[in-house]
Structure 1
Amino acid sequence: NPNRIVANQFELIVRSIQPAELTQLQHNFNSIKDFGFTNYFDSQRFSTFDRIDGLPAFALYKGDYESCLKQMLLGVFRREKSHTKDRKANLLKLWGNWSACLNQTDIKTEQKVFELLLRNNASSAKTQYQEPFRQALELLPFEELLMMLSAFQAYLWNQLVSDYIQSKVSNSACFKTRSGILAFPPPKIDLANELSLPGEGEVYSSEFRQLLDQILNHLQLPPNCTQTTPLKKATMNSYLRPITIIPTDFSIVDIQDDDLAPNQTKLKAKLSFNLPKGAYGTMLVKRLTVRSRF
């Protein structure tokens, strides 16, 4: 039962370490062990992020339900099989010709969506008439809709925390992720303990409200849009998440030559640590290996 999970135990190998990086690695290890690391959501949460269109929920909260539906239904993931990618590419070419789309798919969810759009004579030209596309979104599996909203929440929370950190310090260590640039603060910085994820029931101080409004404005989304949802089937509920996590039983051992790089002077190290439910081990590794001046 996932609800009974208290913590997750991690054991992993970090490879391709340059000998010159050991000092920074040890320094970062001591910092994480004593002061923790920023509890960002990692890229696993953002598999639907498109480098051009962003997350499907961006279009959802703009009222562009057609674009949201298209991205949810036909967005391509890196690990998808080639025949699936080809099928989606073909449907994208046929988009708007719902009878042709129906003839090209045997996926039940897609069939239901195209049947609804055909019945309603939904047209991409009728940009002001988005209701059929919103109704079609409701036909998607609940889990997929929930994941879409969760990704949007996580994205906003990450950006909110990163902007908050950069407003507090001038020497944060920034690193690039699939969905944007995030900042790690230097140790011993006094930050808020926890922060609400955007959603129904969200509670923010004026400082965080201003930062969130700036993020939404940058995304061309209306203020306070996170407190409602255009969908009937799934909602985005707020909850508190710790900003900083301190791992327990954290150790680095067995630093030795990297056997997968035998002709290069590179090292590997074994990490072990425990994190509370919801924290990302991959984010700890990012903090451990980031180059910083603190």
Structure 2
Amino acid sequence: MKLYSRIKTRPEDFVVEELPTLKPGNEGKFWLLKLKKRNTSTLEALRVISRFKKIPLKKIGFAGLKDRFAVTVQYLTVPVEFEVGNWCFEFRNGRWVEVEAFDFTGMGFCVEPLGRVNRPLTLGDLKGNRFTVVIRNFEKNLRERFYRNYEVVKRYGFPNYFGEQRFGSVKSRDDFVLRYLLRGDFDGALRSYFFGKSSIDFWGDWRKLYKTLSPTLEEYEKDLIRGLMRGLTAEKAFRILPKNVRLMFNFAYQSFLWNEVLREYVEAKYPFVRVPFINNWKLSYYLEVHDIDYLKELQIPYTGKEYPPEDPVLKKAMSRVFRRYGVKEEWFDAQVGGMAVMTDGLRRAVVFPEGFKVLEKTKRSVKLTFTLPSGSYATILLRFLLKV
């Protein structure tokens, strides 16, 4: 039985609340807003707010992308030049509508102004996230496995892999748009964006493409295809995509490579178990760690250009992964499609959950709460605890 058949049988089974860094007051250049949503992605909610309230998407600050199939609370910033209010939106009969109130039983969200702050929110700008998760189909053998694996987590933490949300913000999870961009193949990048690796026999017939996809497209995606219909090159049409969407292509590919490096590192040093991940990928989790004081301080770079690794095992892991996927040094810090890509940075190899508690349990379910730092994923912890 797969992970989501146990932890997300309904959105209320997965509740996420951001722990914000900003505190609202009476002064400041930005409004701080609380966004509570159900069964809606963060980007979808932002697009609806932008469209209905005439606030440019790039003016809305947020700290992270929250799960779609969940109930989540997060925070937004908007410049004070825009009017804000208590807004609710619901998806009804195939379209978004503004409503007086949303009862959080369907697909929708509400926004509440909290006050003013002096700066906008940026990605990662939060203390962490508090999760409340219900695990269902929690039969005896799974229960025993769960508590046994939790003893490992208490002692050694768990590998800080990027979760599936990092790869679901683009159209397809089975291909990486950035790989085409790095080769200068903007036509291939657009094809990958809309169809992944699926073959399509009318690619290039932009009118037919527009007619086929139009009911499911965002406005900027329609604008992109209209640009192709007007004769824009693939590169110029690609730049019609909002920058935050274009950046997702970079984040997705770099996150995949980083996960692969961590997986190689774990397999090279520790007893491990492989656990299924999306797209037939695997994640490797250690079962025992002989150098936990070292490991919990280890940070793994994205490219190694600015932060060259000193750990010899890590060096070899990075070399193997980059060679396997044909990553070239000239790609690092490249300017592609109006954005800097393959930039370097550091990410902790290991994370320890805080405040882990069992709130309720029955013969068939258990309800948990725990807090993770910004950028760490509850689903990565749960995949190990349940090994599904």
Question: What TM-score, normalized to structure 2?
Answer: 0.58
- Mapped to 1, the partners of 2:320 and 2:236 lie a distance apart of 30
Q: Deviations over 1:142-182 (max 9, x none)?
A: 0111111111111111001001111113x311112114111
Q: Which amino acid aligns with 2:249?
A: M
- Mapped to 1, the partners of 2:172 and 2:204 lie a distance apart of 22
Q: Which amino acid aligns with 2:275?
A: F
Q: Which amino acid aligns with 2:227?
A: E
Q: Which amino acid aligns with 2:331?
A: C
* Contact 2:175/2:196 (<8 A) preserved: no
SS at match of 1:157: helix
SS at match of 2:367: strand
Tell me which residue corresponds to 1:204.
309
SS at match of 2:341: coil
1:98-117 equivalences in 2 (<5 Å): 98=206, 101=209, 107-113=219-225, 115=227
Tell me which residue corresponds to 1:94.
202
How much has 1:184 moved relative to structure 2?
0.5
How much has 1:215 moved relative to structure 2?
2.0
Match of 2:324 among 211, 215, 218: 218
How much has 1:234 moved relative to structure 2?
4.4
Q: CA distance change for structure 1 residues 224 and 185 in 2, over 3 Å: closer, same or farther? A: farther
- Mapped to 1, the partners of 2:338 and 2:127 lie a distance apart of 32
Tell me which residue corresponds to 2:264.
163
- Mapped to 2, the partners of 1:93 and 1:155 lie a distance apart of 29
* Contact 2:180/2:188 (<8 A) preserved: yes
Tell me which residue corresponds to 1:119.
231
1:57 aligns with 2:178: yes
How much has 1:11 moved relative to structure 2?
1.1
1:8 aligns with 2:129: yes
Tell me which residue corresponds to 2:334.
228
Count of residues paired in the alignment = 256
1:28-47 equivalences in 2 (<5 Å): 28-47=149-168
Q: CA distance change for structure 1 residues 163 and 224 in 2, over 3 Å: closer, same or farther? A: farther
- Mapped to 2, the partners of 1:57 and 1:243 lie a distance apart of 24
How much has 1:112 moved relative to structure 2?
4.3
How much has 1:114 moved relative to structure 2?
5.1
* Aligned sequence identity (%): 22
1:250 aligns with 2:356: yes
* Contact 2:136/2:366 (<8 A) preserved: yes
* Contact 1:198/1:227 (<8 A) preserved: no
Q: Deviations over 1:86-138 (max 9, x none)?
A: xx99xx54322346556775955444455357536xxxxxxxxxxx4333322
1:186 aligns with 2:287: yes
Question: What TM-score, normalized to structure 1?
Answer: 0.74
Structure number with higher helix proportion:
1
Q: Which amino acid aligns with 1:137?
A: F
Tell me which residue corresponds to 1:173.
273
Moved beyond 6 Å, runs of 4+: none
Q: CA distance change for structure 1 residues 111 and 253 in 2, over 3 Å: closer, same or farther? A: closer
How much has 1:198 moved relative to structure 2?
3.2
Flag the structure with more relative contact order, 1 or 2, with Cα contacts below 8 A and sequence separation at least 6.
1
Structure 2: segments with no counterpart, 5+ residues: 1-21, 23-62, 64-120
